[in-house]
Structure 1
Amino acid sequence: MSSQYLTQLEEPQTPPYFPAEMAEGLYADLARFLTPLLIEIDTRIDKRLVRTMLQTVMVILTFRDRVNGLLLSEMGGYLETPDRAPAGTKRLSRL
């Protein structure tokens, strides 16, 4: 066979990515974006509630959709493990 009919292997159109690394990067970007707000809140309320605030914003951005919304008890389940959802809901109510 002639070499004129051989085709070259093409590069994949999307580069390979690692979901865990991408999630960590997005979380770090979100924390960096909210840093001025978190610093201001930290001077006024408990440090544990500041962490809850950051996690709450992350949960809202991750799990909310237009059709169903997001209930407080659902958010508590996402902050903690599903079997500890009431504890997460209590953290949100304190915030």
Structure 2
Amino acid sequence: MVDVKGSAKTGMTVTVLYFAALRERIGRETQELAIPPEGLVVSALLARLGAADARAASALAEEPRLRVAVNHALCAMDDLVRPGDEVAVFPPMTGG
């Protein structure tokens, strides 16, 4: 497995899952991303994903409106993501 920059997996990774329109815009359902052992806040994780891929950068530009869950629990952009976590990213949702 490799991180988004192509380096060998270090064991300090998170699994990122994309849903709905984000999955279509980015062109993948899931990816592994190497992160520091101390973790990253959600907003920094999204920035790192966008910095590595132009399609992801465009899709994730709606960061203030995105919904993110870490290990199946909705979280805030300043919550910490740790190695081994599963991060699900959802596009803005509307209801009616």
The answer, yes or no, to whether TM exceeds 0.5 is no
Q: Which has the higher contact order (CA 8 A, sep 6+)?
A: 2
Which is richer in helix? 1
Q: Normalized against structure 2, the TM-score is what? A: 0.30
- Normalised by the length of structure 1, the TM-score is 0.30
Comparing both structures, which one devotes a greater share of its residues to strand? 2
